[in-house]
Structure 1
Amino acid sequence: MTRFRQAVRTLLREQILDAAYRLVTEEGWARLRVAPVARGAGCSRQTVYNEFGTNPKSAIGLALVEREAERFLLGIQEQLDAHRDSLEAAAAAGVGFVLHRADANPLIRSVLTAARGGQDDELLAYLTTRPEPVFDTATAMLDAYAADTWPEVDAASRSLAVETIVRLTVSHIVQPAADPEQSAGRIAAITARIAYPAKE
């Protein structure tokens, strides 16, 4: 496939995802159908099937979550880069960014609202019970980042700290227990204690 054709296909895929994003945030995941997505993207239903397979709704859902996760991870890295001198400060900044961003994110708000209302919770599974794309991708990125930035943390402690921060952050997105700053501070403190178990 030529680069031009690949670029056109990438653009088409993004247009389909943008259309699906708008529909999910306006009407909810449960009401998402291929025909309105195709209309919103300016293409045919067959084009949507060609791009996302025989079960396009599920494939679109996964692609939407993957795209949002990638955007979140880019923001997290910016926060970590600004606080490389302290693991706990970096953790607090990263978690705070995620919790604030998640609270304002139309897709996540739509998913959580639908799940709390007893509607279709397929997308929620990508945040909570399915390891991909959120858990696996975030864990791999944070583990590699921590190994490079805080090499004094042993591998076992680092692995536990990374898993803890990812799971606790997702838990606070789904069921907030306090305001984002308080939650971020607590999660960061827990993460630092796991990373540095010998410190008081």
Structure 2
Amino acid sequence: MTRFRESVRTLLREQVLDAAYDLVAAEGWGMLRMTSIARSAGISRQTLYNEFGSKEAIGGALVQRELERFLVGIQRELEAHRGELERAARAGVGYTLQQAVDNPLIKSVLVAARGGADTDLLAYLTTRTDPVFGTAMALLDAYAVEAWPDVDEESRGLAVETIVRLTVSHIVQPVATPEESARRIARVTARVAYPGAPTPARPPSAG
């Protein structure tokens, strides 16, 4: 019976988050109302409040769910280049930045925030970052321990923190294409991981 109740609760939460995701993507976080979420999810407001408690809690759950989905793809990209730190970093970051560009929820939040509104949900990527950073860094550190055995513990920790913070920064304020940003972040990460390694020579320019 307990397992059945847990399954029902999981389905309910996913139903609510799916409804909230669609509403935020269509109308923005600032326009989101608990009444609208309940109506779209096909549940009562009281049930919604009993499960989440507040709009802010739904926002945090939305961000966490998107992060978890991103991490599945990131892990796949990293595994494709296991043992090749810079290439793995470039693939993982490139995937993340491109997904951020294509993701309706993140796109809606960033566009609204750049217009000076709807900054509450953006805070989960800027000021209330503990869940996002904690989850991402735990996954990447576990990967790095196995994939980069020649990197000392301190350099590994700094490299993981560097790649997470720079990637989030480029999601919030992109300064180049996802491909170019991924290349730069991967290069920085490699230099942090291998601080004494020589810088590869640049090919001579044409002409």
Category of TM-score, reference length = shorter chain = over 0.9
Aligned to 2:203: none
Aligned to 2:8: 8
Larger Cα Rg: Structure 1 or Structure 2? 2
Matches within 5 A, 1:27-176: 27-53=27-53, 56-176=54-174
Q: How far has the Cα of 1:143 moved from its partner?
A: 1.1
| Alpha-carbon distance in 2 for matches of 1:72, 1:133 | 14
| Alpha-carbon distance in 2 for matches of 1:52, 1:178 | 37
The one-letter code matched in structure 1 to 2:136 is A
The one-letter code matched in structure 1 to 2:19 is A
Contact 1:24 1:107 in 2 (8 A): yes
Q: How far has the Cα of 1:132 moved from its partner?
A: 2.2
| Alpha-carbon distance in 2 for matches of 1:20, 1:196 | 43
| Alpha-carbon distance in 1 for matches of 2:108, 2:129 | 21
Q: How far has the Cα of 1:80 moved from its partner?
A: 0.4
Contact 2:123 2:129 in 1 (8 A): no
TM-score (normalised: structure 1): 0.97
List, as ranges, runs of 4+ consecutive aligned residues in structure 1 with deviation greater than 6 Å.
none
Q: Tell me, what secondary structure is at the counterpart of 1:14?
A: helix
Contact 2:33 2:55 in 1 (8 A): yes
Once the two structures are superposed, residues 61-81 of structure 1 have per-residue CA deviations (whole angstroms, 9 ceiling, x without a partner) of 000000000000111000000
| Alpha-carbon distance in 2 for matches of 1:196, 1:97 | 23
Q: How far has the Cα of 1:4 moved from its partner?
A: 1.0
| Alpha-carbon distance in 1 for matches of 2:83, 2:143 | 13
| Alpha-carbon distance in 1 for matches of 2:130, 2:15 | 23
| Alpha-carbon distance in 2 for matches of 1:174, 1:5 | 38
Q: Tell me, what secondary structure is at the counterpart of 1:16?
A: helix
Contact 2:38 2:44 in 1 (8 A): yes
Q: How far has the Cα of 1:149 moved from its partner?
A: 1.1
Q: Tell me, what secondary structure is at the counterpart of 2:121?
A: helix
The one-letter code matched in structure 1 to 2:4 is F
Q: How far has the Cα of 1:159 moved from its partner?
A: 0.9
Unpaired runs of at least 5, structure 1 = none
Unpaired runs of at least 5, structure 2 = 199-207
Q: How far has the Cα of 1:114 moved from its partner?
A: 1.4
Q: Tell me, what secondary structure is at the counterpart of 1:15?
A: helix
1:199 aligns with 2:192: no
| Alpha-carbon distance in 1 for matches of 2:187, 2:79 | 19
| Alpha-carbon distance in 2 for matches of 1:179, 1:36 | 36
Q: Tell me, what secondary structure is at the counterpart of 2:175?
A: coil
Q: Tell me, what secondary structure is at the counterpart of 1:141?
A: helix
| Structure having the larger proportion of residues in helix | 1
Contact 2:21 2:62 in 1 (8 A): yes
1:189 aligns with 2:158: no
Q: Indicate the RMSD between aligned Cα atoms, in angstroms.
A: 0.9
Q: How far has the Cα of 1:131 moved from its partner?
A: 2.7
Between the aligned residues of both structures, percent identity stands at 69
